[in-house]
């Protein structure tokens, strides 16, 4: 089985074969968490400044008597322009800063490592199917730890979306189109992939386990699966 | 009230009565859609589906809640009720430019509401969400035709309204009133209707193609016949993102009026708010729709380009926020129920707006998109913000409409219950959304760890129910036996208060047409 041999060949150096995209900053999902932390800080700072500012003014500027009127400044032309351009410049600086950070991680998300293992995913109403390309088709996604995995996805019926929260990825599966995403499991463990695009009655029941196992275990499992698959095709042929 | 004649209301062309008809219709839609929300929340009480574990009814409730809240409550409440009632009064006109077309629009709106309600009673109710994405909406046994025809009627009604109000604002202002003397609310209505006029035809064509695909066998969205499933999403959001500003703009406008009056202060940097804020939103609104398709396999360059345009939305919104906040600076604030709602709006806008920033960033959306996080975000920034703004406006102009005041103890208690309740409902959704809880889920047995958060959210919704009952009671009670209001009850400087009686009669302004001086502004408190 050549495809199996190919799998074995990449299995050994796998632990060290960290994808180039991961070389700086770890896995995509850990970089995601890092960026999220930055953005959250950004939001909290803006939120606290504006929130406390509003609260303070709400208390500070209560009318002393019913005839009180506000004495808000009447801006000169220069002040008015300044109060438009300066905030606009600050907001834009923050926007471009965030856009640059977001773009660079997005590039990581959209360039799968060349040595990635590819699995075909099909979304049906209402279950997932994972095709390893060697006759092995499962309804549970099993991946080896440390090996980047590319999911190539489509759907024959309606739109689904493959959401894998643990690895911070999500992409729609559409009839007539093939979409893809990639992730890498950095430690063994079990998590769940769920459909995140409304697809009808059992939309919320459309989920599968995603299991990351050490490479050796993965290959043992794959070998037995391949044997099984071959046995069923042989017997059906015979 | 004593000489009430039903036919006078049915055949009315008076913009104020048309406005009140819009208010009645949209509040009715709010009530039914609110019941759907309660049903949804009760369903989330436990991972297996709470009190009613019927996914079909749950999905129909989701559809109805979304469609009715956006299309039959928020948009008609703001661009139907407020725009109709206030714009002619604020600009010193005796009515809108085309009063009979105006009456036609409101009855189209009512026809749409009836159609939407019928869709709840047919056996194969629409289970297509308010977005109606194909191929699901085409292949489902659920009824898509009601959805399409409802959108058609509402769209037709809005386009007529748009033409009417643009003409009214451009040509029927009081003698002497320049553009820079208009109320911010009038500007925001102008902006909202420009957007409606440009973008509604796109939505109408998208849903019409859906109708053809489902019932006439065309293949616009069917790849097996050469169609494309993504075409619909592109068209739909090309309208529906600007629709967010059709809601946000007038909701902001209402706040500017309430806050400037209750703070007795001029609007801070009026021109930046109008020419930067309102105009900026109009310009940017059509270049950001791809943020709704970040996970839909769009080309990378498009996802990145529209990430930048989406982030830049913070500039016009930020300018409006600075004007709004600045209006509180060195103010003389008196608090009534309207001002309580307005102040709450500032916090809802802050939370909702800021949580939009990570969602604007494509790569962060690859995890956060389609989760409870986005659900909480748009409820804060659009649903809650605009609803609180509408409530603020209702309390504020209640003396104008009825000659009575609706402020009362139940009104104030209702406000606090509503504010605490919505915060309780939607804050937990941010947390579980961050951890991957998808939206539109009837059950969540794969995420049992989220149960307490969902229960907290449901409890919050129950608090809101009590708050809403008190609020509606305060309006009905206020209209019948509330204390009589003074002519200019909040001592505003805006024309609808200074020149028209409360409530205004036919023709709005007794005696001569209103005229304004060269230095007059509606925010002229400081003398
Ligand atoms: Cu699905
Ligand atoms: Cu949008």
Question: How much distance in Å is there from the Cα of B278 to the middle of ligand 1?
Answer: 39
Cβ neighbours for B411, distance < 8 A, ≥ 6 positions apart: B337, B395, B470, B471, B474, B478
B80 belongs to a structural domain? yes
pLDDT of B234 strictly over 80? yes
Cβ neighbours for B70, distance < 8 A, ≥ 6 positions apart: B130, B243, B247
Contact criterion met (CB below 8 Å) for B361 and B311: yes
Q: How confident is the model at residue A17 (pLDDT cuts 50, 70, 90)?
A: very low
Asked whether the beta carbons of residue B440 and residue A198 sit closer than 8 angstroms, the reply is: yes
B514 belongs to a structural domain? no
Burial of A120 (0-12, 13-18, 19+ CB in 10 A): middle
Question: How much distance in Å is there from the Cα of A206 to the middle of ligand 1?
Answer: 6
| C-alpha to C-alpha distance for B84 and B109, rounded to whole angstroms | 14
Which residues of B fall within a CB distance of 8 Å from A64? 332
| Residue appearing with tokens 């995209």 | A21
Q: Tell me the mean pLDDT in the region B119-139.
A: 90
Please count the structural domains in chain B.
1
Q: How confident is the model at residue A89 (pLDDT cuts 50, 70, 90)?
A: very high
Distance from CA of B189 to the nearest CA of A (A): 22
pLDDT of A13 strictly over 50? no
Per-residue pLDDT at B124: 85
Does B442 contact chain A (CB < 8 Å)? yes
Pairs of CB atoms within 8 A across A/B: 255
B519 belongs to a structural domain? no
Residues across chain B: 527
Question: How much distance in Å is there from the Cα of A203 to the middle of ligand 1?
Answer: 5
Does B423 contact chain A (CB < 8 Å)? no
Q: Tell me the mean pLDDT in the region B1-25.
A: 88
Which residues of B fall within a CB distance of 8 Å from A99? 307-308, 311, 361
- Classify strands A149-154 and A117-124 as parallel, antiparallel or unpaired: parallel
Measured between CB atoms, which of B304, B331, B444 is closest to A106?
B304
Which residues of B fall within a CB distance of 8 Å from A70? 263-266, 330-332, 525-526
Which residues of A fall within a CB distance of 8 Å from B127? 200-201
Per-residue pLDDT at A12: 36
Q: How confident is the model at residue B527 (pLDDT cuts 50, 70, 90)?
A: low
| C-alpha to C-alpha distance for B458 and B456, rounded to whole angstroms | 5
pLDDT of B162 strictly over 80? yes
pLDDT of B181 strictly over 90? yes
Per-residue pLDDT at B2: 53
Q: With the C-alpha atoms ordered B289, B125, B25, B348, is the resulting torsion angle positive or negative?
A: negative
B278 belongs to a structural domain? yes
Angle, vertex CA B88, rays to CA B485 and CA B349, nearest 5 = 75
Asked whether the beta carbons of residue A62 and residue B351 sit closer than 8 angstroms, the reply is: no
Contact criterion met (CB below 8 Å) for B169 and B183: no
B157 belongs to a structural domain? yes
Per-residue pLDDT at A237: 62
Domain extent, residue B493, equals 14-498
Q: How confident is the model at residue B243 (pLDDT cuts 50, 70, 90)?
A: very high
Q: How confident is the model at residue A11 (pLDDT cuts 50, 70, 90)?
A: very low
Per-residue pLDDT at A233: 75
Per-residue pLDDT at B182: 97
Q: Tell me the mean pLDDT in the region A118-147.
A: 96
Q: How confident is the model at residue B357 (pLDDT cuts 50, 70, 90)?
A: very high
Interface test with A, best of B214, B237, B294, B295 (most A CBs within 10 A): B295
Distance from CA of A194 to the nearest CA of B (A): 8
Measured between CB atoms, which of B228, B304, B436 is closest to A176?
B228
| C-alpha to C-alpha distance for A192 and B169, rounded to whole angstroms | 55
| C-alpha to C-alpha distance for A130 and A136, rounded to whole angstroms | 8
B45-87 pLDDT, tens digit per residue, is 999 877 777 888 999 999 999 999 999 999 999 999 999 999 9
Q: Tell me the mean pLDDT in the region A109-126.
A: 96
| C-alpha to C-alpha distance for B31 and B466, rounded to whole angstroms | 13
| Residue appearing with tokens 């730890």 | A145
Q: Tell me the mean pLDDT in the region B236-257.
A: 96
Asked whether the beta carbons of residue A74 and residue B328 sit closer than 8 angstroms, the reply is: no
Coil, strand or helix at A58: helix
Question: How much distance in Å is there from the Cα of B389 to the middle of ligand 2?
Answer: 20
Asked whether the beta carbons of residue A163 and residue B371 sit closer than 8 angstroms, the reply is: yes
Pick the closest to residue B436 from B446, B427, B424 (CA basis).
Answer: B446
> Count of CB atoms within 10 A of residue B136's CB?
25
Cβ neighbours for A173, distance < 8 A, ≥ 6 positions apart: A121, A122, A123, A153, A154, A155, A159, A160, A161, A162, A179
Does B307 contact chain A (CB < 8 Å)? yes
Strand partners, A173: A160
Q: Tell me the mean pLDDT in the region B33-42.
A: 95
Q: How confident is the model at residue B123 (pLDDT cuts 50, 70, 90)?
A: confident
Q: Tell me the mean pLDDT in the region B427-450.
A: 96
Contact criterion met (CB below 8 Å) for B253 and B245: no
Buried/exposed A140-174: b ≥16 CB within 10 Å, e otherwise: ebbbbbbbbbbbbbbbebbbbbbbbbbbbbbbbbb
Q: How far is CA B211 from CA A175, B133, B372, B452, in A?
A: 19, 12, 30, 41
B58 belongs to a structural domain? yes
Question: How much distance in Å is there from the Cα of A4 to the middle of ligand 1?
Answer: 31
Q: Which ligand is nearest to the CA of B242?
A: 2
Percent of chain A at pLDDT exceeding 70: 88
CATH number for the domain harbouring residue B171: 1.20.210.10
* Mean pLDDT score of chain A: 89
Q: Which ligand is nearest to the CA of B292?
A: 2
Q: Tell me the mean pLDDT in the region A194-221.
A: 96
Q: How far is CA A88 from CA A237, B278, B317, B323, B441, in A?
A: 71, 14, 10, 13, 39
Contact criterion met (CB below 8 Å) for B108 and B157: yes
Q: Of A11-15, A24-28, A172-176, B189-193, where does mean pLDDT reach its minimum?
A: A11-15
pLDDT of A3 strictly over 50? no
Q: Tell me the mean pLDDT in the region B81-94.
A: 97
Interface test with A, best of B332, B340, B441 (most A CBs within 10 A): B332
Q: Tell me the mean pLDDT in the region A14-31.
A: 62
Specify the higher pLDDT residue, A24 or B156. B156
Asked whether the beta carbons of residue B271 and residue A176 sit closer than 8 angstroms, the reply is: no
Coil, strand or helix at A181: strand
Neighbours of ion ligand 2 (CB under 5 A): B 241
**Closest chain A residue by Cα to residue B351:** A47
Per-residue pLDDT at B81: 97
| C-alpha to C-alpha distance for B145 and B435, rounded to whole angstroms | 37
Angle, vertex CA B93, rays to CA B87 and CA B97, nearest 5 = 80
* Mean pLDDT score of chain B: 95
Tokens of A116: 């990635």
Per-residue pLDDT at A14: 40
Distance from CA of A38 to the nearest CA of B (A): 10
Does B315 contact chain A (CB < 8 Å)? yes
Contact criterion met (CB below 8 Å) for A215 and A147: yes
Q: How confident is the model at residue A24 (pLDDT cuts 50, 70, 90)?
A: low
**Closest chain A residue by Cα to residue B134:** A158
CA A57, distance to chain mean position in Å, is 41
B190 belongs to a structural domain? yes
B329 belongs to a structural domain? yes
Q: Which ligand is nearest to the CA of A123?
A: 1
Q: Which ligand is nearest to the CA of A124?
A: 1
Interface test with A, best of B61, B362, B363 (most A CBs within 10 A): B363
pTM comes to: 0.94
Q: Which ligand is nearest to the CA of A174?
A: 1
Measured between CB atoms, which of A70, A174, A199 is closest to B331?
A70
Contact criterion met (CB below 8 Å) for B349 and B383: no
B282-341 pLDDT, tens digit per residue, is 999 999 999 999 999 999 999 999 999 999 999 999 999 999 999 999 999 999 999 999
What ipTM was reported for this prediction? 0.92
Residues across chain A: 238
């Amino acid at each position: 089985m050549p495809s199996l041999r190919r799998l074995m060949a990449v299995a050994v150096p796998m632990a060290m074969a960290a994808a180039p995209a991961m070389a700086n900053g770890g896995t995509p999902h850990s970089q995601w968490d890092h960026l999220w932390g930055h953005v959250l800080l950004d939001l909290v700072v803006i939120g606290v400044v504006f929130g406390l500012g509003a609260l303070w003014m709400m208390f500070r500027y209560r009318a002393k008597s019913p005839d009180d009127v506000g004495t808000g400044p009447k801006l000169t032309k220069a002040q008015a322009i300044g109060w438009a351009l300066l905030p606009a410049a600050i907001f834009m600086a923050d926007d471009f800063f965030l856009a640059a950070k977001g773009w660079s991680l997005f590039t990581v998300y959209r360039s799968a490592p060349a040595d990635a293992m590819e699995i075909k995913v099909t979304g049906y109403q209402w279950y997932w199917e994972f095709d390893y390309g060697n006759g092995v088709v499962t309804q549970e996604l099993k991946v080896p730890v440390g090996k980047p995995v590319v999911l190539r996805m489509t759907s024959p019926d309606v739109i689904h979306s493959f959401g894998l929260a643990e690895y911070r990825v999500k992409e729609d599966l559409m009839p007539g189109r093939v979409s893809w995403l990639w992730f890498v499991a950095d430690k063994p463990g079990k998590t769940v992939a769920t459909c995140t695009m409304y697809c009808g009655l059992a939309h919320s029941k459309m989920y599968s386990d995603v299991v990351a196992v050490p490479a050796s275990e993965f290959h043992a499992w794959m070998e037995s699966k391949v044997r099984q698959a071959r046995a069923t095709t042989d017997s059906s042929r015979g | 009230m004593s000489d009430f004649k039903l036919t006078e209301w049915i055949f009315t062309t008076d913009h104020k009565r048309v406005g009140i008809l819009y208010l009645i219709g949209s509040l009715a839609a709010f009530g039914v859609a609110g019941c759907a929300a309660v049903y949804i929340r009760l369903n989330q009480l436990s991972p297996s589906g709470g009190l009613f574990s019927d996914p079909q009814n749950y999905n129909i409730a989701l559809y109805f809640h979304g469609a009715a809240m956006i299309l039959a409550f928020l948009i008609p409440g703001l661009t139907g009720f407020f725009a109709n009632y206030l714009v002619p009064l604020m600009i010193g006109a005796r009515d809108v430019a085309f009063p009979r077309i105006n009456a036609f629009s409101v009855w189209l709106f009512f026809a749409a509401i009836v159609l939407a309600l019928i869709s709840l009673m047919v056996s194969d109710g629409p289970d297509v969400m308010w977005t109606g994405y194909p191929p699901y909406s085409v292949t489902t046994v659920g009824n898509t035709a009601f959805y399409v025809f409802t959108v058609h009627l509402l769209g037709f009604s809005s386009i007529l309204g748009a033409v009417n109000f643009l003409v009214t604002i451009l040509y029927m202002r009081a003698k002497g009133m320049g553009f820079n003397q208009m109320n911010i609310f009038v500007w925001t209505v102008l902006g909202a209707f420009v957007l409606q006029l440009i973008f509604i035809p796109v939505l109408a064509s998208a849903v019409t193609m859906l109708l053809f695909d489902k019932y006439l066998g065309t293949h616009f969205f069917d790849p097996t016949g050469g169609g494309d499933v993504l075409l619909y999403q592109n068209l739909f959001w090309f309208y529906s993102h600007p629709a967010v500003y059709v809601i946000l703009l007038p909701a902001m406008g209402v706040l500017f009026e309430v806050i400037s009056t209750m703070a007795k202060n001029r609007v801070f940097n009026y021109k930046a708010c109008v020419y930067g804020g309102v105009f900026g939103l109009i310009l940017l609104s059509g270049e950001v729709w791809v943020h709704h398709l970040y996970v839909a396999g769009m080309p990378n360059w498009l996802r990145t380009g529209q990430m930048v345009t989406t982030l830049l939305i913070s500039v016009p919104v930020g300018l409006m926020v600075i004007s709004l906040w600045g209006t509180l600076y060195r103010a003389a604030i008196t608090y009534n129920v309207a001002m309580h709602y307005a102040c709450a709006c500032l916090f809802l806008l802050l939370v909702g707006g800021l949580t939009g920033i990570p969602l604007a960033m494509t790569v962060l959306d690859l995890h956060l998109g389609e989760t409870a996080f986005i659900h909480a975000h748009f409820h804060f920034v659009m649903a809650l913000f605009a609803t609180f703004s509408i409530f603020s406006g209702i309390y504020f102009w209640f003396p104008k409409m009825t000659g009575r005041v609706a402020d009362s103890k139940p009104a104030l208690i209702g406000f606090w219950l509503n504010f605490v309740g919505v915060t309780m409902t939607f804050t937990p959704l941010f947390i579980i959304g961050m951890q991957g809880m998808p939206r539109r889920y009837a059950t969540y047995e794969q995420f049992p760890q989220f149960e307490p958060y969902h229960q907290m959210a449901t409890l919050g919704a129950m608090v809101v129910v009590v708050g809403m009952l008190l609020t509606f009671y305060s309006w009905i009670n206020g209209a019948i036996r509330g204390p009589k209001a003074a002519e200019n009850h909040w001592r505003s400087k805006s024309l609808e208060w200074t020149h028209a009686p409360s409530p205004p009669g036919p023709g709005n302004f007794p005696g001569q047409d209103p005229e304004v001086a060269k230095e007059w502004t509606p925010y002229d408190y400081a003398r």
